[in-house]
Amino acid sequence: MSRQVIAAAGTALLDERRQLKPEELADLAAVPDTSVPSLAALAHEVRLAWCGPEVEVEGILSAKTGGCPEDCHFCSQSAQFPTQVQATPFLDTDEVLRAAEETARLGASEFCLVLAIRGPDERTMTRLLELVPLVRDRVGINVAVSAGILSEDQARRFAEGGVHRYNHNLETARSHFGRIVTTHSWEERFDTCRLVREYGMELCCGVLLGMGESVEQRLELIGQLREVEPAEVPINFLNPRPGTPLADQRLVEPLEAIRWIALFRLGLPSVILRYAGGREVTLRDLQTMGMTSGINALIVGNYLTTLGRSPDEDLQMLDDLRMPIGVLSKVL
Ligand code: SF4
């Protein structure tokens, strides 16, 4: 049975070159664990056929850490929970430039400035609009920004100011969101994603799996991502942070993580699907398998509040897999 379901998905995606219907994805989500490697193999083939062999490498820098007024239950940067993260002010220009240079040296084509805020105030807008062209021109790297919920005017100014890609995560399905965040709505996130696209920036719209959502809700999330048409989808797995309401949540199991990496690829065949936070603790020895299950981009170095493995290990992994580092651009 699973063999037929996987073969039919292959025909749709590789021969007919069409997106899968929601019911086809639901059938794939139900294959037994023993079929996950076959699912992953198809996802890899689909990634090669729709996106090519290159892997994109990106560095992220937490330009303003902690002290966020929002209550996202997974986040150690929320000021509402007793976590270890200390609030720090905006990094100075030299620190940002140094981090961008280091990221470029690793071969990365994208550098993302991340701020733990609900949305940017005027001071933050001004600061970011100074930094973006400076980093791009001095370091020669594309600059992405992640600064929370935007108004229409702010989206326009970022687009005009040279922000190449804007990150704003949906995090989880609309039907699950109210259990994870109460200080802003899923719709506010969705609207910001829409504005980013409307003003011509690339949308990077990530998910965080492992927050108690059901299989149906993960499938719902894939459908909602299709609506916002992201260029890139970072896949994060919950790495439960002490002090947060999700501190005792169990980790996604490695094979389950591979299953969902493959399903996100099969549901979103043309996106840049990026390995992001939580992959080391979640996948353990299966990290390399993720690269042949549909992933085609990596965040290297440290994540915002947790340490990633060393960039050298990741670059070695890509070399061992004979996967070239390249710049990906969206083709829809
Ligand atoms: S996820 Fe973002 S908005 Fe939510 S608490 Fe953390 S930094 Fe604030």
- pLDDT tens, 61-87? 888 888 889 999 999 889 889 888 888
Distance 64 CA to ligand 1 centre (A): 11
Among 66-70, 80-84, 136-140, 198-202, the range with the most confident prediction by mean pLDDT is 198-202
How far is the CA of 198 from the CAs of 191, 201, 224, 229, in angstroms? 10, 8, 17, 11
Specify the higher pLDDT residue, 307 or 194: 194
pLDDT > 80? residue 305: no
How far is the CA of 41 from the CAs of 21, 81, 90, in angstroms? 20, 41, 43
pLDDT of residue 277: 87
Q: Which atom of ligand 1 is nearest to the CA of 70?
A: 5
* 107-111, 120-124, 276-280: least confidently modelled range: 107-111
Ligand 1 pocket test, pick from 64, 71, 72 with the greatest ligand atom count within 8 Å of Cβ, gives: 72
pLDDT > 50? residue 269: yes
Q: How many CA atoms lie within 13 A of 76 on its CB side?
A: 15
Q: Locate tokens 């108690």: which residue?
A: 212
pLDDT > 50? residue 330: no
Percent of the chain whose predicted confidence (pLDDT) is above 70: 96
* 112-121, 297-306, 312-321: least confidently modelled range: 297-306
Rounded to whole angstroms, how far apart are CA atoms 51 and 64? 33
Helices (H) and strands (E) in the chain, counts: 13, 9
Q: How confident is the model at residue 308 (pLDDT cuts 50, 70, 90)?
A: low
Rounded to whole angstroms, how far apart are CA atoms 72 and 182? 7
pLDDT of residue 61: 85
The mean per-residue pLDDT over the stretch 145-157 comes to 96
Distance 85 CA to ligand 1 centre (A): 12
CB 150 within 8 A of CB 120: yes
pTM: 0.93
- Amino acid occupying residue 279: R
CB 42 within 8 A of CB 262: yes
Rounded to whole angstroms, how far apart are CA atoms 284 and 104? 27
pLDDT of residue 162: 92
How far is the CA of 315 from the CAs of 98, 99, 273, 300, 318, in angstroms? 20, 18, 17, 9, 5
Distance 72 CA to ligand 1 centre (A): 6
* 8-17, 27-36, 100-109, 261-270: least confidently modelled range: 100-109
The mean per-residue pLDDT over the stretch 100-106 comes to 86
Which residue, among 212, 265, 184, 239, has the nearest Cα to 9 in the 3D structure? 265
The mean per-residue pLDDT over the stretch 139-165 comes to 94
Distance 49 CA to ligand 1 centre (A): 35
Q: How confident is the model at residue 302 (pLDDT cuts 50, 70, 90)?
A: low
How far is the CA of 80 from the CAs of 124, 184, 273, in angstroms? 22, 14, 31
Percent of the chain whose predicted confidence (pLDDT) is above 90: 73
Tokens of 20: 């899968």
pLDDT of residue 217: 98
Q: How long a stretch of residues is the chain?
A: 332
pLDDT > 70? residue 332: no
The mean per-residue pLDDT over the stretch 12-32 comes to 97
Which residue, among 60, 59, 79, has the nearest Cα to 69 in the 3D structure? 79
Ligand 1 pocket test, pick from 62, 65, 71, 75 with the greatest ligand atom count within 8 Å of Cβ, gives: 75
Which residues have CB under 6 Å of ligand 1?
Answer: 68, 70, 72, 75, 77-78, 116, 118, 148
pLDDT of residue 303: 54
pLDDT of residue 331: 38
